[in-house]
Structure 1
C-alpha cells in the first residue's frame, strides 16, 4: 500500500510546483501589462492636453485671420454678370432683341451686388480682433482680471460675438508673450493686467471712426 501512494504524492507535488510557477509568472505578466497601460494612459492624457491647447490657439488665430481676409468679397463681384448671358441665348437668334437694355440691367445688378459686399467688407475690416478687445478691456480695469472674467465682460459688451474662456486665455497669453500684459498668480488662480507700454500704445492709437 505505501508503494502505491508514493508515485501519487510525487505527481501531486510536481503539479503543485508547476501551478505555483505558472501563477507567479501570470502575476508578473499582469504587473508588466499594468505598468504599460499606466504609461500609455499618461501619454494619452498629455496628448489630450496638448490637443486642447493647440485647438484653442487655432481658434484664436482663426478669429484674427478671418478679420484680415474680410476684404475679399470685393473681388468676386466681377464674375456675377457672366451668368446672365447664358440665361438669354434665344434673344440673339431673333435679331429683334434690344441690345441696350441688357447692359444696363447688368450694370444695375453689379452695383446691387457690389453694394452689400462692400458694406460687409467694411464692417469686417472695422471689427477689432480678439487680442485688441482683450487688451483694451484690460487697459480699462484698475484691478487684475482672470480669463473667465474677461470672457464674460466681452460677451456682455459684444453680444454678437462668441467668447470662449479657453480662447480668451490664449489671447491673454499671446499678450503676455509680447509684453502686452502681465500674468500674476493668486493661489491656483491666474490673473492678467495690461502693461504700461501697452497702455501707452493704446492711448497713442487714433480713435476708430
Structure 2
C-alpha cells in the first residue's frame, strides 16, 4: 500500500508541475497578445487622427472639392456644420480654408517629424537601434523598438524575421549562446539604407 500511495503522489506531483508550467506559458502568451492588441489599437487611432487632419488640409487647398470631407466628419464631430453647407454656393468654401490654416503650424511640423519614422522600413529602424558589435536578444531589440517607435505595432516574430533577413544580407551576424540566438550588428546602420529586406 505504501508503494501504491507513493506512486500515486508522484504522478499527482508530476501532473501538478506540468499544469503549472502550461498555465504560466498560457498566461504569458495572453499578456503578450494583449499588449500587441493595445499597440495596434493605439496605432489605428493615430492613423484615424492623421487621416482627419490630412483630409482637412487637403480640403483647404485651392481648387479642392468638398466630397471627401463628409465621410470623415462623424469621427471627429468637428465639421458637421461645414458638411451641410457645401451643397449651396461657393461662399462657405473659404471658411474651412481659414480654419484649417489657423492650426497647421503645430500639426504640420509634428506630422513632418512623424512621417519619416512611420514611413521608414522596419529593417532600418531595427538596425539603427542596434549598437555595432553588441549581441542582442530578439526580445531586447523588440523592446527597444517599442520604446523608440511606439507607433509601429510590431510583434516579436516580425522583429525576428527582419533580423534573419538582415543576417542573410550580411548586415547583422547571428550566434547561439546557451541555446539562445543572439544578433550582432556587423555593419554601420547607414550601409544598408539602399537595401530593402522583404521582412521589413
Q: Which TM-score bucket, shorter chain as reference?
A: 0.3 to 0.5
- TM-score normalised to the size of structure 2? 0.44
TM-score of the aligned structures, taking structure 1 as reference length: 0.43
Compare the two structures and name the one with the higher helix fraction: 1
Which structure would you say has the larger Rg?
1
